[in-house]
Amino acid sequence: MCGRYVSTRSPEDLTRLFRVTDWRPEEALAPSWNVAPTDDVYAVLERTPRGDAAAPAGRELRPLRWGLVPSWAKDPKIGSRLINARVETAHQKPAFRTAFAKRRCLLPADGFYEWQSVEDRATGKTRKQPYFLHPADEQVMALAGLYEYWRNPDVKRDDDPEAWLVTCTILTTEATDAAGRLHPRMPLALTSDHYDAWLDPRHQDPDELHSLLTQPAGGHLNARPVSPAVNNVRNNGPQLLNEAPS
């Protein structure tokens, strides 16, 4: 799975890298070295510009809440359990199938964390050691995601900012390479030549869409043990990526 990741690139960098045409400075997010479920995260998606339904679709950078809430959900708290979607079944599952067909996005990341049980040399007890996995070339990862709209029934007006909750999930697959030694699942990614097809809501054939997805960095990921401080979602900062004794 992917339960925590790092996203520190500036919105200016992301708009350039992903050829974004619509970004609002007031929606800027702070860099995070410990992105956790239910946090707001940057997503790249393609849709008609906000406030102009007649305009052609453009590429947008906007914050979404991590943890997909299906449109039919009675309680938005379900999103905390839907942070990942298995690529093998996402196009079939009720929670994800509409989003897989029509609402796909990219979630920029520097890398992601996985944990492995190790024996603590000092105490002899088993503990969870976090590892940071990232592309060997340090390039931005474009994680494959889905997004969905949820209408808050307690808000009467559609144009009220509180009326709509927009959330996302990360697609995962069987893990290989460095990730496979740490966890059986890993996030999927896209290469830049596949961004257009993935984001285009007109492309709805599951087989075609699956063919666009790849292992992050082509499977060429570096993994290093990092500070156990990552385990607490309240901790943040670049010091979390300092290499720790394995």
Catalytic (active-site) positions: 2, 114
The pair of three-digit structure tokens given for residue 211, joined into one six-digit string: 């063919």
Burial 203-241 (b: 16+ CB within 10 A, else e): eeeeeebbebbbbbbeeebbbbbbbebbbeeeebeeebb
Query: What residues does 17 pair with on adjacent strands?
Result: none
Are 229 and 240 within 8 A, CB to CB? yes
Are 34 and 43 within 8 A, CB to CB? no
Task: Name the 3-class secondary structure at 179.
Answer: helix
